[in-house]
């Protein structure tokens, strides 16, 4: 009597096997819990082929290896005769976790864990709650409004062309920063950490989102700008860098952001300065701006 055809796991194939292949049956991978845990594992770790079904896709009869381009030894091959099973390419892909996916999930898990640990000033009752007023003062020092108003005020008082040129570019940098951060926040829509209290001074509607940190972008942008365009003694230069770093850290300590929001914010702010430097506005390439301002 011919032995029944078997699948890669040595289980019988055909009508009898498929009729018993309800979710949870052995034909689905040795029991419901094994099947569902495998599915959860796969959905966690792998990006599956488009169109794949959400129910133990690799073991469905219509997709079983015997139905694919001769990828599996078939007729009369009992378990004893079968050569070691060769999984078709697609199935191997299915079992193969995406390492980028795993790396990202690990990074996110570490990010959330670390951000929660560092959020020591998130509330008055937090372990460093008494430092909260100081952190909020730092928050104001990196807020968009004082920087915009301060730049406009200095621009109105400046009576040298060189000063006006630098301030005009600082204004351009601050506006570019606001625009890019708002765009990214609106696109990514990452919620602020659960332990954050939304008690910030003047916010835009996108500021309910946390990625990237607007304070971190501004801190990196402004400090790079100052270091490149103001002649400062070394201690003051160190102070500028320290301010940017502490401002970024304070965002996580206040519970406003996760660490990755701030890290990416620093990176973006650094990049924004390069854009501003590249598009540097001067009376030569943007005469209209300078003439208009002079007429004010």
Instruction: Report the interface residues with ligand RDZ, using CB under 6 A.
Output: 143-145, 178, 200, 202-204, 207, 213-215, 251, 256
41: DSSP letter: H
Q: How many residues does the chain have?
A: 296
CB of 236 to ligand RDZ, least distance (A): 24
Question: CB under 8 Å to 163, separation ≥6 — which residues?
Answer: 154
Distances (CA, A) of 5 to 14, 24, 81: 7, 21, 11
Select 56 or 167, whichever has its Cβ closest to ligand RDZ: 167
Q: What are phi and psi of 191, to 5 degrees?
A: -70, 150
Select 48 or 195, whichever has its Cβ closest to ligand RDZ: 195
CB of 7 to ligand RDZ, least distance (A): 54
Taking each helix axis as running N to C, give the angle between helix 214-229 and helix 144-157, from 0 to 180 degrees, rounded to the nearest 10: 30
Question: CB under 8 Å to 292, separation ≥6 — which residues?
Answer: none
Distances (CA, A) of 198 to 112, 163, 207, 256, 294: 18, 38, 10, 8, 41
CB of 200 to ligand RDZ, least distance (A): 5
* CA angle (247 as vertex; 241, 248 as ends), nearest 5: 95
CB of 125 to ligand RDZ, least distance (A): 22
Select 145 or 238, whichever has its Cβ closest to ligand RDZ: 145
Q: Is 106 exposed, middle or buried (0-12, 13-18, 19+ CB in 10 A)?
A: exposed
CB of 226 to ligand RDZ, least distance (A): 19
Active site residue 195: no
Select 65 or 144, whichever has its Cβ closest to ligand RDZ: 144
Select 103 or 145, whichever has its Cβ closest to ligand RDZ: 145
Catalytic member of 28, 67, 215, 229: 215
Active site residue 257: yes
Q: What are phi and psi of 209, to 5 degrees?
A: -95, 160
Active-site positions? 215, 257
């Amino acid at each position: 009597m011919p032995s029944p055809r078997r699948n890669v796991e040595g289980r019988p194939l055909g009508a009898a096997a498929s009729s018993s292949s309800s979710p949870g049956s052995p034909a689905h991978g040795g029991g419901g819990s094994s099947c569902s845990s495998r599915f959860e594992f796969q959905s966690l770790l792998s990006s599956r082929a488009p169109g794949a079904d959400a129910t133990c896709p690799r073991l469905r009869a219509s997709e079983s290896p015997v139905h694919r381009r001769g990828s599996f030894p078939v007729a009369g091959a009992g378990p004893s005769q079968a050569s070691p099973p060769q999984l078709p390419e697609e199935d191997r892909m299915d079992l193969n976790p995406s390492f980028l996916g795993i790396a990202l999930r690990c990074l996110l898990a570490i990010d959330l864990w670390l951000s929660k640990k560092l959020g020591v000033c998130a509330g008055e009752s937090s372990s460093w709650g008494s430092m909260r007023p100081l952190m909020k003062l730092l928050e104001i020092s990196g807020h968009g409004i004082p920087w915009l108003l301060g730049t406009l005020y200095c621009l109105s008082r400046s009576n040298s062309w060189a000063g006006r040129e630098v301030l005009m570019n600082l204004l351009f940098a601050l506006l570019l920063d606001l625009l890019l951060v708002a765009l990214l926040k609106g696109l990514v829509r990452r919620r602020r950490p659960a332990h954050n209290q939304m008690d910030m001074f003047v916010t835009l509607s996108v500021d309910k989102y946390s990625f990237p940190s607007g304070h971190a972008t501004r801190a990196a942008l402004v400090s790079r700008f100052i270091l490149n365009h103001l002649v400062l003694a070394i201690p003051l230069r160190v102070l500028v860098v320290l301010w940017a770093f502490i401002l970024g850290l304070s965002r996580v300590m206040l519970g406003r952001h996760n660490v990755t929001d701030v890290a990416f914010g620093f990176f973006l702010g650094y990049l924004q300065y390069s854009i501003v430097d590249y598009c540097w506005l001067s009376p030569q390439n943007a005469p209209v701006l300078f003439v208009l301002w002079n007429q004010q």
